[in-house]
Amino acid sequence: MANKVIIIGSGFSGLSAACYLAAAGYEVEVFEKNAQLGGRARQFTTADGFRFDMGPSWYWMPDVMEDFFRDFDQRVDDFYNLLPLNPQFEMVFAEDSVAVPAGMAELRSLFEEIEPGSGQQFDRFMEAARFKYEVGMKDFVTKPCHSWWEFVDLKIVKSALKLNLLTDFRKYVRQYFKDPRLVALMEFPVIFLGAAPKDIPAMYSLMNYGGYGLGTWYPEGGFVKIIEAMVTVAKNLGVTFHVQRPVKRILLEGGRAVGVRLDDETQYCDIVVGSADYQHVESLLPMDARNYPLSYWEKRTFAPSCLIFYLGFQTKIQELKHHTLFFENELERHVADIYTHKKWPEQPLFYVCCPSKTDANVAPEGCENVFLLMPIATGLADGEEVREEYFRQMIARLEKHTGSQNLVDSIIFKRSYCVQDFVQDYNAYEGNAYGLANTLKQTAVWKPSIRNKKVENLFYTGQLTVPGPGVPPAIISGKIIAQEVIGKKDLSHEEIV
């Protein structure tokens, strides 16, 4: 009989690992604490017909998704319809706003219009970003990161200077652009990496290419369509899923994991993969079997948590795009409040997603589906009073930008989600939303290990280990851990199918 693998958690990394391991002949069972599969990428539907994605909303790096489905002899369009967004998004500044077009030529023209001479600089920046993307996504982020020797690869060594690993992103961007709007536009993508631009290696300009160069897309029906597609692939490969079955303990015997304890039963297995929050998975072990003490996590730099409002409006909101970034205030001040001061921001930035601008099926006719998202520090007290204070600020700025009046009176559905909800629903350490920040000191080998160093058959995958936060990295993380379990350096398409 095939070796049995139990995977804890059904987010992108857990589903990815489940597919690759099942394709390799393992018997795979996935245990999910919530009633719906998908981790942070769940969706909920209201009684009056609003459908809200609860988590990811930016579809970038489409090649990673294509590669995943191709590995199982499938295509993205076998499962969902992918729509290009144009404009990709809008950035709102104190004095004006910039709609970011799709297409490199159009982007170049926009840069030249804002700052004469920057069109050529844009070409140089994006060509360097394309190189970093090709090397980074093919040769860098796919490593298990047990040792720096993994990176003693001729291609990576030759590319070391071009990767700008020791240059911080803030300085790097300013070598190309001066206008603060263009600087904000180029710094924005690394916010997904969960740290201030000054603390992130310039190598991550690859994000600019992964977004602007490859385009911003939307899966019709919402991000849950990706989850449904991955679950379909997994089930076709024989994976079994269990929902509302939280794992309470990982059982050990003779230095090996032999199973997991649920509320009402014990499930035995040969291998355990933790796809839930890393620190939470460690808490399921005795203290002497954990990779890291609590003090380790207390010293890490976590990506932000979020204050989110899911809103259903009984009206259409004119002048609102699918994605809108409200950057009227200073990015560095907001980031300092998150990482340095660990407090609620005094001058917050926030993001608005309105998928009903693209997809009529996510809201009733004549209505608008909107969520507001404000990055905040982890571990904050987030009572109803403070949530409402920031809601009022965000809705007022939304009204000003769109020229709408009394938007609050048009709200027929409202739900907030914040730090304590991330803890409750995902066992997220201090309510983090995106995992660990990709600072230089938390890159590659300096990330939490994907293997338990004391339990030989226990592995970890997801946004708190390699390669890092975000949907594409989580999918890659699942493949990395499958390769570790199987004992192969690479799982090629031919080997899988």
Predicted TM-score (pTM) of this structure? 0.96
pLDDT of residue 164: 85
Tokens of 321: 């795009």
Q: What is the pLDDT of residues 214-257, one digit of tens each?
A: 999 999 999 999 999 999 999 999 999 999 999 999 999 999 99
Q: Give the percent of the chain with pLDDT over 90.
A: 86
Pick the residue with more confidence: 368 or 165? 368
Which residue carries 């093919």 as its tokens?
Answer: 138
The distance in angstroms from the start CA to the end CA of the chain is: 20
Number of neighbouring beta carbons within 10 Å of residue 368? 23
Q: Say whether pLDDT at 13 is over 80.
A: yes
Beta-carbon contacts of 414 under 8 Å, excluding residues fewer than 6 positions away, are 309, 310, 311, 312
Tokens of 452: 């338990």
pLDDT of residue 285: 98
C-alpha to C-alpha distances, 316 to 222, 280, 398, nearest whole angstrom? 19, 42, 13
Q: What is the pLDDT of residues 357-395, one digit of tens each?
A: 999 999 999 999 999 999 999 999 999 999 999 999 999
Among candidate residues 275, 272, 276, 246, the one with its CA nearest the CA of residue 261 = 246
Q: What is the pLDDT of residues 19-70, one digit of tens each?
A: 999 999 999 999 999 999 999 999 999 999 999 999 999 999 999 999 999 9
Average pLDDT over residues 479-488: 94
Amino acid in position 279: Q
Average pLDDT over residues 350-357: 98
pLDDT of residue 138: 84
Which residue carries 């009733």 as its tokens?
Answer: 364
Average pLDDT over residues 420-425: 98
Average pLDDT over residues 176-194: 88
The answer to whether domain 4-80+222-300+438-496 has CATH 3.40.47.10 is no
Q: What is the pLDDT of residues 105-163, one digit of tens each?
A: 999 999 999 999 999 999 999 999 999 999 889 888 999 999 988 887 756 666 766 88
pLDDT of residue 118: 98
Tokens of 469: 């936060």
pLDDT of residue 160: 66
DSSP string, 158-173: HHHHHHTTTSBHHHHH
pLDDT of residue 157: 63
pLDDT of residue 418: 98
| Architecture of the 301-426 domain | 2-Layer Sandwich (3.30)
Lowest mean pLDDT among 142-156, 174-188, 214-228, 303-317: 142-156
DSSP string, 260-277: EE-SS-EEE-SEEEE-S-
Report the distance separating Cα 66 and Cα 72, nearest Å.
Answer: 10
Q: What is the pLDDT of residues 395-418, one digit of tens each?
A: 999 999 999 999 999 999 999 999
Strands across the sheet with 97-100, in order? 97-100, 89-92, 323-326, 350-353, 368-376, 305-313, 411-417
pLDDT of residue 163: 83
> In which band, very low, low, confident or very high, does the pLDDT at 314 lie, cut at 50, 70 and 90?
very high
Lowest mean pLDDT among 121-130, 200-209, 475-484: 200-209
Beta-carbon contacts of 378 under 8 Å, excluding residues fewer than 6 positions away, are 302, 304, 305, 419, 429, 430, 431, 432
Pick the residue with more confidence: 1 or 352? 352
Q: Say whether pLDDT at 1 is over 60.
A: no
Domain boundaries defined on the chain: 4-80+222-300+438-496, 103-214, 301-426
